[in-house]
Amino acid sequence: MKNGNAERTVGRTVSYGPEETREIAGELARELSDGAVLALHGDLGAGKTCFVQGLARACGVDQPVTSPTFTLINEYRGRRRVYHIDLYRIADPEELRDLGWEQYMEPDGITVVEWAERAADAFPGTAIHIRFDYGKEPEERILCFDRGGAPCSR
Ligand code: ADP
Ligand code: MG
């Protein structure tokens, strides 16, 4: 394992409800070591925040997890630290510098970033990219895992 990222992070998985998405995230979290960076891609309502909730729960976080839309970053402390960034409102990639982006790319815990497509070039090659898509059923979501570069071609 390198840079805290698990090896089993390539492929596609289907979720049939929010709790299942939280469980998928929890399973992944248990395989990650500190230093891991997760880049979440996908439209509004695709399940990114839901995934972060499961990730944080598996890290022993008991604070409520919601999108840090106005603050850009939420920091949770459980058994391990989780840095939750949402780039939805970022207008200019220059703003990343003001956030202290570099330090979050080498976290003393896990960093998870929603709307990663807004800053796709700013992630280290070791980041795990996850693309969320709607499926055919109302509660179906397709999660596609990839490392580095483009997040899963469809
Ligand atoms: P995002 O952060 O991508 O905008 P959220 O996680 O905030 O999305 O919202 C996802 C919405 O979709 C929630 O209302 C959730 O209950 C619903 N949902 C339905 N099915 C799923 C699923 N399989 N996985 C995740 N969320 C789901
Ligand atoms: Mg969200």
DSSP state of 5: B
Domain-located, residue 80: yes
Counting the structural domains of the chain, the total is 1
What are the distances in angstroms from CA 133 to CA 21, 108, 117, 130? 12, 30, 14, 10
Give the per-residue pLDDT at 105.
Answer: 97
Low-confidence stretches of the chain (pLDDT < 70) are 1-9, 69, 148-154
Q: Which atom of ligand 1 is least distant from the CA of 46?
A: 3
Q: Identify the pLDDT of residue 93.
A: 83
In angstroms, the CA 1 to CA 33 distance is: 9
| 1, part of any domain | no
E strand or H helix that includes residue 29? helix 18-31
- Report CA dihedral (104, 32, 28, 144) to the nearest 10 degrees: 60
Distance 47 CA to ligand 1 centre (A): 4
Cα torsion angle, 104, 122, 30, 5, sign: negative
The whole-number pLDDT of residue 9 equals 62
> Does residue 2 lie in a domain region?
no
pLDDT given at position 94: 86
User: How remote is the CA of residue 41 from the centroid of ligand 2, in Å?
Assistant: 10
Ligand 1 atom with minimal separation from the 52 CA:
6
| Alpha carbon of 117 to ligand 2 centroid (Å) | 13
Q: Does residue 67 lie within any of the structural domains?
A: yes
Quick check: is 32 in a domain? Answer: yes
- How far does residue 69's CA lie from ligand 2's centre (Å)? 8
Domain with residue 54: its CATH number is 3.40.50.300
Q: Is residue 153 part of a domain?
A: no
Nearest ligand to the CA atom of 51:
1
| CA 96 to centroid of ligand 2, rounded, Å | 18
CA 152 to CA 119: how far, in whole Å?
16
Residue 120 has a pLDDT of: 87
User: What is the span of the domain harbouring residue 135?
Assistant: 11-147
Ligand nearest to the CA of 89: 2
CB 88 within 8 A of CB 114: yes
> d(Cα 25, Cα 44) in Å, to the nearest integer?
18
- Alpha-carbon distance values, 113 to 90, 93, 129, 137 (Å): 12, 14, 10, 26
Q: Is 6 within the bounds of a domain?
A: no
pLDDT tens digit string along 61-75?
Answer: 999 999 876 778 999
Number of H helices, E strands in the chain: 4, 7
Lining ligand 1 with CB less than 6 A are 15-18, 20-21, 42, 44-50, 67, 114, 139, 141
Query: Domain for residue 126, yes or no?
Result: yes
